[in-house]
Every structure is written in structure tokens, then in C-alpha cells.
Structure 1
């Protein structure tokens, strides 16, 4: 068993995916991991439906709000709001490559402006007691040398930032979609390991292409944390399997469902739509007999009921008694 007292495992922020309904579900598999919101822009919090964007269940802690923005004053105001709402941390997005984000001068393009990120960080951290962190790429476009990333981290760390989450791929801001940016640029884990060696006092967390508990263990031998996105989302039972890192037992899928049903009832009573919630649960039986029937039962049914969900789950559990 690995000593996890100074290590961290996180579920990555994913737009449209890491909603409160997914995060509650994820927490049922593992009490230790850090959960992240979707990236939320400063404009959405300052001028949009703040309550809708920031709502969460107390079970989700420890929970991190990821902010997209570049204006130091707006970022500071949103960080204060996050603390007032009860978030445990705020993370600055310096990794998203989408055109919309670039247009607003936030996300990965900010790697070319480390002073802007440092200024925002300093304003944010000075205003709150909770930690402020940065998630970034190893480079952008032709600025993909190790030295470029080193200078970015050095500049932001000089402002006081102590925790960096590094997606170990360059972001290609021209010519690739966000999806392609998660898959095509090659992974360069060694650059992230080297960053930890060069900045031993910083907490360095690695992200990108991690798919198994063995992968997690391998990375934790070199860095302080691991962040996983799509693998946790599409196969949530990987979260349960990761409990072994802490020496704690993994819940069964049946136990997760038993804890999930009251939450679904509660949300339906508040007027939330079941199909909107259950789209996040399609991977529950990934790799097991009946997984396809489970996905079919939950997909494309606007009149889905709790009884439908329970019936579909019971059918798959009957085929997999140990699940």
C-alpha cells in the first residue's frame, strides 16, 4: 500500500460531464479523491445563474471549483464567492484549448502570458483562505519546449502558487479541436517528472492518458498527484478500485446504487430531470455482462422513471452477482 498522506488523486474538470450529479455519483465510489467542477467562466458567475452553476451536495467534499478567466479583479471576486459557497479550493484553467475560450483570452493561451496568470493568482489568493491552484499544459503550439513550461511555472510560483496540475500534452490552438487536443499531441510524462525535480517544494500533479490503478502508482513514484478524466467517467468503477491506494475496501456497484437511489429521489422531488442525471451513469457496468442493456435502458427515454432504473440495474446485477 502506498503512503497517500502527501499524495492526491483527482477527477479532472470536464465540461458537460463533471456536474454535481456526476460528482455525487463519483463520490460514492471513493471517499478520498478530489472532485472538480466543470470549468466555469467568471462571466457566468458574475452575471449568470450563480446558484445553478455552484450548487453541490455536501457529500462531494473535497471539491474544487475550476475558474476560466484572465481579469485579476473578476477572478478574485469569483474566488471569494467560491469560498462563501463552501468550496475547498479554486483552480485557474490554463489548459482548455477551445476556440470560445481563446476568444475570451482564457484557458491554454494564457501559458503565453505567465505574468497575467501570476497577477490573477496573487489577487485571488490574497482574498481567501482556501488554496488557489493552476492547471496548465506542457506548452502551446510552437512554444512546446520544456524551458517554456519551466518559465511559466517559475513565474506563477514566484507569486506564491504552490500547486500545479500539468496536462502532459501540448495544446495546439490552431488546427485541432478540443477533443483532438486530448488525443493527438503526444504525451510527455518525462517533462512533468523533470518539473518536479526542478521544483521539489511545489506540489506537481500529472494529467493525461492515465487509465489504470497501476498507471496511478507508477506516476506517484515521480510526482505528488494524479488527475484522471475520461477513464474515471467512462469506467467509474476505476474510482472504486483506486481505494486500494489508501488500503480501504472498494464498494460494490450494488452498494453504490443503494446509496444513489435516495439522491435521485431527492433531485426528482426538486424538479430535476432523471435523463439529465442518468446520462452520467452509463458506464457503471463497464466491462460486465449486460452493460449494453443497462446503457440502452437509460438512454433516449424522456419518460425515464426510478423504477425503470432499478429494474435495469437489478437485471445486470443478477447476471453479475459479485458486482
Structure 2
């Protein structure tokens, strides 16, 4: 997949894996906005795949491709078994989480705390590669706690490259495993883009992507001038309309603005209504779909009312897809987004 994408576009744009956010319904919405963006699942723990409800955890719409499965774990045998199981579901990539700083992840001795043991991570990657039929990649931080990123990151990357990792996505912040919440770890540790850029310059033949604090496609284009890939998280989720400019960015290397005006909003409405109907018919609730849609109309007149309708009405027992129609009707679609002050731009 990486070779094909790089051959076609030269670069990769991805939407970051985000726990409680990038579930299958979120990814289906994002795919309607971009054909080319690489989409990631939430992190799924290897034990859950082995012992839990596999179909619920791993199934997804074929429309989501290209889609990557992110795994959490620190046991080579369990991760290998999870990769074998996931093979039946046809993911385009398997990614190992070496960046999540939450207490729950630390208690399982995986996520960002694995940055302290690059030899173990290399063993995990090698074991996953041995059984995987698709690329195996790593998503990491630049360091943790008292580590000096400029000292530890080069060696960490060398280990991953030696283990055969097909790509490495680097969140350009250190993680503090004690004293900061996961939310604070996404905001407080300073970003060090230059270090990540330097890693790419020093490893010209290795796919390296960058993540962390990237707020819009203009910033993404700046990173793509140096990096092989760019990954947006919160910005892509909270202002999903910006994804409408991704295909232009990938095809032409630049985008003048977030092209929300070019979206066929009525087609999107109808597609999401049909999709939500299927979800409800299979036992889900409307809110499972619409909770990912509330950020669609950032800057549009009527956006606040759109959010209110989805937030209040979609959660009611028995709510149907007419709620989506009512929410869209509240927005001045033809008016397009208004310019936003610089300080109100979302951080990704």
C-alpha cells in the first residue's frame, strides 16, 4: 500500500487513530470527504481481538479503504495472533501503537511506555512482519519522560528500520507518563517539528510521517515538502470539512483553502442518511453515526443550530434519520464558510 500510494501521489495523508473517535462510523464519514486519505481505526488491544467480540471490533464498511488497523500490546505472540486474525478482515496496514500515554495503556505495559524499550518494540515489529501480508508500521512519540528526544529518537528509528517496519509515523511531542493526562500530553509538551524533519533528512530511503498539532491543510502541505506523510488528528475530526481538500493536496501538492464549498452537501446528507438507516436496522442508534458529524459545518451560518439538533435530537430513543435532514436544513450551505480568526483555528 505504501509503495502504491507513493508511486501514485508521492506522499500520504492520514487521519490519526483516536480512541473513542475513529470508529467505523467516523471512518465512513471521512471517506465520503476524501478518496485518498489513509484512515486508521481506534487502537484495539491484541488481547481483545484474541478473546473478545472479533466481528464487532474488526468489521467495517468496504467503502473505508484504504484503512489501517492499529494494535496495542507488548507480547509478540499475542500481537502475531491478532495480526493473523485481522488478516481475514482485509485491512490495508497493521500499525503498532508506541505513542498512547493513557494510564490504561501503561498498566498493560504498552503504548508510549514502550519508547523506553526499543529492543522489545523491534522484536514486536519483527514478529508481526513475519505473519502479516500487509505493511506493518509504527506510530511513536519523540521520547518519554526524562529522555532527550534528539538522543533517543535516532536509535529508536534505527531499531524499527532494522526490524523491517514499512513506515514510521512520529508524533512530534514527548509524552510524560506521570503528571499529565492524555489530553495534556496532546497539548503541553512542546512540538519539535525540526527534529522530526531532521530524522527524515537523515533517513531519505525510509518512509517517515509526521503528526501532532497540525491544524489545517496549509500546514500539512508545509510538512509534506519535507516528510513522506502527514497525519492530522483533532483538526480532521473536529472540522471534518477540511478533508474535502485532501485529494487536491495529494494530487497537486498544494491547496489554496479548505474546500468545503466544493462538497456536494446534499449528496453527503443522503449518503449519511442511508448509512445511518442501515446502522439502526442492524441494532445501532442514530447517535452512533451523528456524533461524528457535529463538526462538519465549521464557520457556516447555521452551524450552531446544526450541532444543537444532532446533539439533542439524535440521542433520543427511537431517533431516525429525519434528524440528519433537519440538521442539514438548518445550515446555509450555499453561503459557505466564513473566514475564521487565526486564534480560532483548531489544533490537530
Shorter-chain TM-score: which interval? over 0.9
SS in 2 for 1:143: coil
Q: Please tell me whether the aligned partners of residues 173 and 191 of structure 2 are also in contact (alpha carbons under 8 angstroms).
A: yes
Structure 1 residue ranges, 4+ long, deviating more than 4 angstroms after superposition: 247-250
Give the distance between the partners of 1:229 and 1:98, measured in 2 at CA.
17
Which residue does 2:329 correspond to in 1? 314
Is 1:275 the equivalent of 2:287?
A: yes
SS in 1 for 2:188: coil
Cα offset for 1:162?
Answer: 3.0
Q: TM-score normalised to the size of structure 2?
A: 0.89
Is 1:305 the equivalent of 2:317?
A: no
Is 1:164 the equivalent of 2:168?
A: yes
Cα offset for 1:195?
Answer: 0.6
Is 1:244 the equivalent of 2:259?
A: no
Give the distance between the partners of 2:238 and 2:149, measured in 1 at CA.
32
Is 1:145 the equivalent of 2:118?
A: no
SS in 2 for 1:28: helix
Aligned length: 320
Aligned runs of 1:106-255 on 2, under 5 Å?
106-247=110-251, 250-255=262-267
Q: Deviations over 1:210-255 (max 9, x none)?
A: 1111101100011100000100000001100222213488533333
Q: Please tell me whether the aligned partners of residues 36 and 246 of structure 2 are also in contact (alpha carbons under 8 angstroms).
A: no
Which residue does 1:37 correspond to in 2? 41
Q: Please tell me whether the aligned partners of residues 277 and 320 of structure 2 are also in contact (alpha carbons under 8 angstroms).
A: no
SS in 1 for 2:147: coil
Cα offset for 1:115?
Answer: 1.0
SS in 1 for 2:267: helix
Shifted more, 112-121 versus 251-260: the winner is 251-260
Give the distance between the partners of 2:251 and 2:74, measured in 1 at CA.
41
Cα offset for 1:81?
Answer: 1.4
Is 1:296 the equivalent of 2:308?
A: yes
Q: Deviations over 1:118-145 (max 9, x none)?
A: 1111111111210000000001011133
Give the distance between the partners of 1:179 and 1:278, measured in 2 at CA.
23
List runs of 5+ in structure 1 lacking aligned partners.
Answer: none
Cα offset for 1:187?
Answer: 0.5
Q: TM-score normalised to the size of structure 1?
A: 0.95
SS in 2 for 1:97: coil
List runs of 5+ in structure 2 lacking aligned partners.
Answer: 1-6, 253-258, 337-348
SS in 1 for 2:40: strand
Cα offset for 1:274?
Answer: 0.5
Which residue does 1:260 correspond to in 2? 272
Give the distance between the partners of 1:164 and 1:188, measured in 2 at CA.
16
Give the distance between the partners of 1:203 and 1:181, measured in 2 at CA.
25
Alpha-carbon RMSD across the aligned residues, in angstroms, is 1.6
Match 1:51 to one of 49, 55, 76: 55
Cα offset for 1:266?
Answer: 1.2
Which residue does 1:284 correspond to in 2? 296
